[in-house]
Amino acid sequence: MHTHPGDLVTRHLQTCGRLKTPSLIWGLLASLCLLSLTSCSAPFADDAPALTRLSIRPTIDVYQQGGIEYGEVRLDGHVLFQVAGSVSSDKGGTEQSTLRLRIGSIESNLDRVLNQQIDPDKLYVGVASLGRQTVIQAGTQSHSTQEILLTVTELDAQLMQQKIPFLAQNWAGTIQRALQRAWVARSPAARQQQVLQAAGTLGAIVATSLGLSTFPRWLYRLFKRRKQQSHPLLPADDVPDRLATPDGDAAKIAWDFEQTSALKQRQRLNSWRRVLWFAQLAIWVYGSALLLLIFPETNIWGRALIAFALRLTIIVFSMLLVAQICRFLINQWLNSWVEAASLEPNEAQRIALRAPTLAGVLEEIISVAVLIIGIILLTDLQQTPVQSILASVGLLGVAIGIVFQNLFRDWVNGLFIIFGDQYAVGDTVNIAGVDGLVESMSLRSTNIRGPGGSLNTVPHGQITTVKNLTKDWSRADLTVQIAKDADVTHAMQVMQQVADEMAHDPDWQPKILEPTNRLGVSQISATGTQILVWIKTTRADQWEVEHEFRHRLKLAFDEQGIQMT
């Protein structure tokens, strides 16, 4: 059965998509989680107070309104009010970090008051003046202990469009109610209710996860049972015998149908397994977030985990959708390219050979591009400055830079090799001292199947010279040595005759472009005379033509009495 080159490209591209997608997802997950962890420490400088650094929540979002930046102060995940700061001219820099530092300092002060042994009924939150500043302080009604929580600034009043004294009184009342609510949430009765709720939630998570884990095994047993119940039209052991019968073509079609159906069922089974695996991952992530939401101390982390999981889910699925659209467009373009080349026989074979190579490389480029875009999107959503990432990586960043330097060199050299058509998958080459058949190519390296079946991987950065033995056309170079007293002219005539007979043989005519591209004496020695003959062939057929020519030449020389040495 003849397979159209466009179908080969389509299947190859689909196979690449199945292989690359898990790598893409894992790359996005690992990179985005690393960025999420980095963002926890990014907003604060190394010289920030120790108490402030310990009390920060996962992310502190900062917004902008005109010439003012503002952010939310939270306690146990609940928003209390918004504080403001001036907009920095340096988008990556100090003013944004200063506003986050202020928010973190206020929240740490609230946590410190919350952890003090103060009777909620005796809590006092009031407004006081400290020099020319208006501050909010908290303590007992006896004023024996007072803790300054924050300073109300002119920018705060401008943001809220209220006067400082009135705004300070409103914030004091909000803080007092929030602290009392937090103490109630930490009472023994509330703790008991929280523990029971957490136990029920954890039990539901485990039960759902176990139910999903048994589903793939049920699918596998169902697949196996259907395979056993279905009676193959052509058992594998009977294939050689049945193919030799008159109905061999029908039997072959039946066998191919059975194998294709089984392959599709296995692919569907694997797809279901991947879906269920991601479902289990989502259950544990969102279930963990629900557990964190139950307890007031971890409520903010639960909210942050849900927000991060939603961002991650949206980014991953968006990037996968973009990748699939790009694959579809590339698939259409390659199929059109192969279809157009089929009208030109001289180019059709080479383009059909290059199309799968380009499909795999373009797939890799899409994966890398999608990964980078996903990282940039999450970096922007997490408001993680690049400087903080580099600072947190430290010396590891230098090592990563060196590795990426070599990787970038491999990629650039690979682009020149692939798009310059120096060789493609299916060519026989000699590169970097390695001989063999190009089995697969990526943007970074080439896999060559060498003598004895050895698989050699050559990074593109190490390739300086390429020897392609099968590009466009090939040539069989033969050297035959005859006895020194043999008739050289007669021997050359016999060689010419054998080459012409092969060129007119219907079995060999399609493979021979020029029967004797060159024929002549190449060397004379005391042991004999060497005669060189070149036969131009179609690509990759030179070895087969050479073997047949030597076989026919030996028979012809024996018939003419020409002795070889």
DSSP code at position 139: E
For residue 121, give Cα distances in angstroms to 78, 110, 241: 21, 17, 94
Lowest mean per-residue pLDDT among 58-62, 256-260, 332-336: 256-260
- CA distance linking residue 76 with residue 54, whole number of Å: 15
pLDDT averaged over every residue in the chain: 76
Over range 500-505, report the average pLDDT.
Answer: 87
Q: 44 pLDDT exceeds 60?
A: no
Lowest mean per-residue pLDDT among 73-82, 206-215, 309-318, 381-390: 381-390
Lowest mean per-residue pLDDT among 5-9, 262-266, 286-290, 482-486: 5-9
Lowest mean per-residue pLDDT among 90-94, 400-404, 461-465: 90-94
Q: 90 pLDDT exceeds 60?
A: no
Q: 360 pLDDT exceeds 70?
A: yes
Token pair for residue 264? 């599709």
Using 50, 70 and 90 to split pLDDT, how confident is the model at 170?
A: very high
More confident residue, 546 or 251: 546
All domains of the chain in start order, with CATH = 5-36+194-227+266-418 (no CATH), 50-185 (no CATH), 419-468 (2.30.30.60), 473-560 (3.30.70.100)
End-to-end CA distance of the chain: 46
Over range 443-461, report the average pLDDT.
Answer: 86
Lowest mean per-residue pLDDT among 64-78, 136-150, 262-276: 262-276
- CA distance linking residue 188 with residue 209, whole number of Å: 31
Over range 453-472, report the average pLDDT.
Answer: 85
Using 50, 70 and 90 to split pLDDT, how confident is the model at 101?
A: confident
Token pair for residue 222? 């169902």
Say if residues 551 and 469 touch (Cβ distance below 8 Å).
no
Q: 174 pLDDT exceeds 90?
A: yes
More confident residue, 440 or 551: 551
Lowest mean per-residue pLDDT among 88-102, 358-372, 468-482: 88-102
Q: Give me the pLDDT at residue 9, please.
A: 44
- CA distance linking residue 298 with residue 169, whole number of Å: 29
Using 50, 70 and 90 to split pLDDT, how confident is the model at 37?
A: very low
Q: What is the DSSP string of 484-512?
A: TTS-HHHHHHHHHHHHHHHHHSTTTGGGE
Q: 38 pLDDT exceeds 80?
A: no
Q: Give me the pLDDT at residue 73, please.
A: 92
Q: 6 pLDDT exceeds 90?
A: no
